Structure 1
Amino acid sequence: MSNLLHLDASARRKSFSRELSKAYATTWRAAHPDAGYVYRDLAADPVPHITEAWTELCDYVLAHEITDISRYGEAVRTPAQEEAWTTLKPMLDEVVAADVVLIGTPMYNFSIPSSLKAWLDQITFPKMSLKGRSFVVTGARGGAYGPGTPREPVDHEERYLRDFFKGHFAVEDVTFIHTELTNSLLDPAIAHLRDKHEHSRQAALAEVTR
């Protein structure tokens, strides 16, 4: 049975990244009616930052060359490490069980929200492979950061996530779908780009449902 892990990271309850991730999840679940589904709202229910005890777990896994994710619990030796493990284990289990990981996230200050970074830090261990899974990122950006645009070089959202998923998790199937120019709805200086924003939004909605 297939499983979908769905994460949202936008601080806004009504956001374009949430709109896209919801459309994707709804379409995916309709196509897989018997599939498992887990949802996490990383903004409404923030993941705590890693602690020193978490780093000790990480050090143990690395020093003992543990590559089997199911064995990470062997690193627990102290009460503080037990607390850290209790926090991260449910999140780790969700990722391991997923066939598709769906992440709805805006771009904040050229990168990802701290809520998403905290989740990534919690579930990531050295030499950890999630090969065979698919990652889908539905994003929203205030400006235009696509190929050939003046701001393409400062897109540290897609570039970071793509490099991370492929370079660290060995995930080859990574898809990004963005709604761009969302700030045109608020910023008078780029209000003339609202038609381009709406075109981007509709194209993104068509892509996630496809």
Structure 2
Amino acid sequence: MNTLLHLDASARRRSVSREVGTAFAEAWRAVHPGGTYLYRDLAAAPVPFIDEAWTELCDNVLRTGVTDLDRLHEAARPPGQKAAWATLEPLFNELVAADVVLIATPMYNFGIPASLKAWIDQVTFPKMSLAGRRFVVASARGGSYAPGAPRAPYDYQERYLRDFIAGHFAVEDVTFINAELVNSRIDPNLAHLRAAHDDSYAAALHTAATLAKEY
């Protein structure tokens, strides 16, 4: 049975990244009526930042040599570490259970929101291979960071996520669906690019809905 893990990271309740992510999720659920759909709104219900107890828990796992995922809880000993594991365990279980991970995120300051980074930091330990899973990133960016665009070199969002997912989880199957020039909706200086944004947005919605049928 297929499982989709859907993460939203935008601080806006109504946002382009959420809409593109929803287009993928709805199409995926239509194709997999018996599948499992897991959802987390990382902005509305933020994942705690990692703390010292989390690092100590990681140290204990390394010291004890526990590799069986079902026994990781045994490394959590003092109360602080048990609390860290209680936060991490459901996030970890959702990620491991997923066949497809959908990350809907805006670009903030050339990178990703703190809410998404907090989730990433939580699930980076224990390091594991998720080879065979597929990741989809539904992204909204204020300007254009497409190849050849003047701001393309400043796209640390896609570069970071692609490098992290491949380098940490050994997953090369990562697809980005980017809606560009979102700020043309509100910034008078970008108003002349509104048509280009509308085309990019429509293409992203179409791609999301079409791609989901292949997953």
Is there any run of 5+ residues in structure 1 with no aligned partner, and where? none
Identical residues among aligned pairs (%): 65
Deviations 1:74-94 (A, max 9, x none): 211111000110111011110
Tell me the distance in 1 between the aligned counterparts of 2:37 and 2:167: 26
- Write the mapping of 1:19-98 to structure 2, written as runs, cut at 5 A: 19-98=19-98
- Using a 3 Å threshold, how does the CA distance of structure 1 residues 60 and 25 change in structure 2: closer, same or farther? same
How far off is 1:72 after superposition?
Answer: 2.1
Counterpart position of 1:2: 2
Q: Match of 2:199, as an amino acid?
A: H
Task: Map Cα deviations across residues 124-166 of structure 1 (whole Å, 9 max, x no partner).
Answer: 1153211111111000000000111111111110000000000
- Structure 1 distance, partners of 2:153, 2:71, is 40
Q: What SS does the corresponding residue of 2:169 show, helix, strand or coil?
A: coil
- Give 1:61 shift: 2.5
Q: Which residue number in structure 2 is paired with residue 124 of structure 1?
A: 124
Give the distance between the partners of 1:126 and 1:150, measured in 2 at CA: 39
Output the CA distance in 2 between the equivalents of 1:204 and 1:137.
11
Instruction: Give the counterpart letter for 1:9 in structure 2.
Output: A
Contact persistence 1:181–1:194 (CA under 8 A):
yes
Give 3-state SS (helix, strand or coil) of 1:168's partner. helix
Q: Which residue does 1:170 correspond to in 2?
A: 170
Corresponding residue of 1:145 = 145
Separation in structure 2 between the aligned mates of residue 98 and residue 84 of structure 1, nearest angstrom: 22
Distance (whole Å) between structure 2 residues aligned to residue 22 and residue 92 of structure 1: 23
Q: Where does residue 108 of structure 2 map in the other structure?
A: 108
Which secondary structure does the structure 1 equivalent of 2:161 belong to? helix
> In 1, distance between residues paired with 2:175 and 2:161?
10
The AA in structure 1 aligned to 2:163 is D
SS of corresponding position for 2:102: strand
Describe the superposition over 1:98-128 as per-residue Cα deviations: whole angstroms up to 9, x where unpaired. Answer: 1001110000000000000000111111532
- How far 1:66 sits from its partner (Å)? 4.0
TM-score, normalising length: structure 2:
0.94
CA deviation map 1:174-208 (0-9, x unaligned): 11001100001111111100000001001111110
Report the AA paired with residue 29 of structure 2. R
Going from structure 1 to structure 2, the CA distance change for 1:163 and 1:58 (only over 3 Å counts) comes to: same
Aligned equivalents of 2:175, 2:66: Cα separation in 1? 29
Question: What is the Cα-based RMSD across aligned positions, in Å?
Answer: 1.1
Report if aligned partners of 2:64, 2:75 keep a CA contact under 8 Å in 1: no
Indicate whether 1:192 and 2:156 are aligned.
no
Question: Which deviations, in whole Å up to 9, do the C-alpha atoms of 1:48-74 show, x marking residues without a partner?
Answer: 101101001112223444444333222
Give, as a single letter, the amino acid of the residue that structure 1 aligns with 2:33: P
Unaligned runs of 5+ in 2: 211-215
Q: 1:161–1:66: structure 2 CA closer, same or farther, 3 Å change rule?
A: farther
Q: Whole-Å Cα distance in 1 between the matches of residues 69 and 142 of structure 2?
A: 37
Q: Which residue of 2 aligns with 1:12?
A: 12
1:127 alignment partner AA: K
